């Protein structure tokens, strides 16, 4: 079948039996992917690169394809090209930039199935979640199109007669995006869709654990930009290990770095960018909890907690890590959650009957196993045993069992984020303030939730003295954020905000203007300066 993005002459790799059975060969053709793909691009122009990154699927351990890494010389070419493109792009009226994003969203609608399959196969999340990630891309495009006509400043009353003050927003320049493996396309789109309507150009370094997704996305947007006769450099990708990321964070030509990843990585990025007085948007670790009160409805609690804990095999920054359960309902809730885990089906994520796919790689498996052992050493009581699955269908060695452990919030391992399906259960007594204190008693502050039918408890949780997280939900879980709201967290989560609300402002620079339309020159604060 002809590729939507390049014709039938595209050579694709030999697929594994699993991939062939689920149409991955066709998906790769439609996305313009080959055996070896150039990993550096300024649009329609691709650069040969240096070494190769091999992308192996955690689903079956098979080689999907390879991506060439960006050389330092190519990196400098990309940045210079992006700088030139910015001069043209920022001059386009914002609604016209929105039209480009609209076309991109429509192309994503056409390619939702193959791109969703690639996300699932390269990263390991369930096919439904892969499709859902592409839908997030479509949604943020729709949001950005509307936003392109609403990049509003404000008029401010002046204390001086015959004067007007106003505020306006200008394009920032190059936005550098460093994304993580767990959302290999959505987080990039959160940044780029907003940055583009704001008049910025983007340079994206994807995770080396899911590099093919970046090439596929670049293929899609490059076609749109070429059809609209726009210059090279508006959408750029680079690939490689952390050294490529270091080039970006130290580069004074990039005014904003948006980085998603671990708290450890965020500390390095934030410090490096701050030293050159750049701006950083950090989306880092989460250690998210659900508080379950005596009035909570189990019909809401169980699916919310279980999906939050095992969705994407626990590899979401918003994954539920802790359940803080009132002692009066603890046994009932515990038994319901444990019973629900018996129904979880683990296997090939391309098969929609399976709930949970693999971890990203064997390093992640080791981290998962070590965390379980540390929890046991600290006194944790294992309710649902973890472990690595073996046998037919699990040959990649990346499939693990979601585990449940009774623990204390003070355990060292509980205080840290483990990117794996490990759920810690703990009790609280007394009123909801005690539960909130436990929930807030970690270094991270991304997402939080309370399950209650008591209005006072819900409002206390949402008050200034309640959850200290950037996201606080009532009667839904910690994961599954919509693009309409600003996404991000506090404390060691980094403080950044992406996606909806007024998150667009980080991609622009603010300017205050004062205009004197009188024949006099009165000074502010009543100061007199007579000559």
Q: Annotated catalytic sites, by residue? A: 283
Say which residue the tokens 């999340």 belong to: 125
List 177's β-bridge partners, or say none.
Answer: 204, 258
> What is the CA angle 149-150-152, rounded to 5?
130
Task: Determine the longest span between alpha carbons in the chain, in angstroms.
Answer: 91
List 403's β-bridge partners, or say none.
Answer: 422
Cα separations in angstroms, 341 against 327, 420, 460? 21, 15, 31
Contact (Cβ atoms closer than 8 angstroms) between residue 214 and residue 183: no
Contact (Cβ atoms closer than 8 angstroms) between residue 198 and residue 504: yes
Contact (Cβ atoms closer than 8 angstroms) between residue 102 and residue 139: no
Per DSSP, 69 falls in state P
* Coil, strand or helix at 67: strand
> What is the CA angle 275-40-190, rounded to 5?
65
Instruction: Name the token pair of 18.
Output: 């699993």
Look at the alpha carbons of 504, 506, 507, 513 in this order and tell me if their dihedral is positive or negative. Answer: positive
Contact (Cβ atoms closer than 8 angstroms) between residue 324 and residue 291: yes
Round to whole Å and give the CA distance between 279 and 414: 31
Round to whole Å and give the CA distance between 486 and 167: 22
Per DSSP, 466 falls in state S
* Coil, strand or helix at 93: coil
CB neighbours of residue 47 within 10 Å: 19
Q: Residue 426: enclosing H or E segment and its boundaries?
A: strand 422-428
Round to whole Å and give the CA distance between 358 and 183: 15
Helix %, strand %, coil % for the chain, to 5? 40, 20, 40
Pairing mode of beta strands 444-445, 490-491: antiparallel
């Amino acid at each position: 079948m002809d590729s939507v993005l390049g014709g039938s002459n595209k050579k694709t790799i030999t697929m594994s039996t699993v991939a062939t059975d689920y149409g991955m060969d066709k998906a790769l053709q439609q996305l313009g992917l080959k055996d070896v793909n150039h990993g550096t691009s300024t649009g329609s122009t691709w650069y040969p690169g240096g070494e190769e990154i091999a992308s192996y699927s955690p689903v079956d351990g098979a080689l999907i394809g390879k991506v060439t890494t960006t050389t330092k010389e190519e990196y400098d070419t990309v940045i210079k090209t992006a700088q030139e493109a910015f001069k043209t792009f920022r001059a386009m009226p914002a609604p016209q930039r929105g039209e480009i994003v609209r076309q991109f969203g429509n192309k994503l609608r056409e390619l939702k199935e193959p791109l969703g399959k690639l996300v699932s196969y390269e990263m390991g999340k369930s096919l439904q979640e892969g499709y859902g990630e592409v839908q997030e891309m479509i949604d943020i495009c729709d949001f950005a199109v509307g936003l392109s006509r609403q990049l509003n400043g404000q008029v401010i009353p002046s204390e001086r007669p015959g004067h007007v003050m106003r505020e306006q927003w200008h394009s920032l320049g190059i936005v550098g995006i460093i994304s993580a493996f767990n959302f290999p396309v959505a987080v990039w789109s959160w940044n780029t869709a907003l940055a583009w309507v704001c008049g910025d150009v983007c340079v994206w370094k994807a995770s080396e654990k899911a590099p093919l997704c970046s090439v596929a996305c670049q293929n899609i947007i490059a076609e749109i930009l070429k059809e609209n006769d726009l210059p090279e450099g508006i959408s750029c990708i680079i690939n490689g290990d952390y050294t490529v990321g270091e080039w970006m964070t130290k580069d004074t030509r990039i005014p904003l770095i948006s980085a998603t990843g671990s708290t450890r990585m965020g500390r390095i990025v934030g410090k490096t960018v701050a030293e050159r007085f750049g701006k950083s948007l950090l989306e880092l670790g989460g250690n998210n909890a659900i508080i379950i009160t005596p009035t909570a409805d189990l019909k809401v609690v169980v699916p919310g907690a279980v999906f939050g804990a095992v969705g994407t095999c626990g590899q979401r920054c918003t994954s539920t890590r802790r359940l803080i359960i009132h002692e009066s309902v603890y046994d009932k809730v515990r038994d319901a959650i444990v019973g629900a885990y018996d129904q979880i089906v683990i296997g090939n994520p391309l098969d929609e009957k399976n709930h949970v796919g693999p971890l990203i790689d064997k390093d992640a498996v080791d981290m998962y196993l070590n965390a379980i052992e540390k929890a046991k050493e600290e006194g944790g009581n294992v309710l649902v045993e973890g472990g690595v699955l073996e046998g037919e269908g699990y040959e990649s060695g990346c499939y693990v069992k979601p585990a449940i452990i009774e623990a204390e919030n003070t355990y060292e391992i509980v205080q840290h984020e483990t990117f794996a399906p490990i759920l810690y259960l703990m009790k609280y007594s007394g009123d909801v303030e005690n539960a909130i204190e436990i929930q807030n008693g970690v270094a991270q502050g991304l997402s939080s939730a309370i399950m209650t039918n008591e209005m006072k408890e819900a409002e206390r949780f949402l008050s200034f003295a309640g959850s200290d997280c950037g996201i606080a939900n009532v009667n839904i879980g910690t994961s599954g954020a919509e693009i309409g709201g600003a996404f991000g967290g506090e404390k060691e989560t980094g403080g950044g905000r992406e996606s909806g609300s007024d998150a667009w402002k980080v991609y622009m620079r603010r300017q205050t203007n004062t205009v004197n339309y009188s024949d006099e020159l009165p000074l502010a604060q009543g100061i007199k300066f007579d000559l």
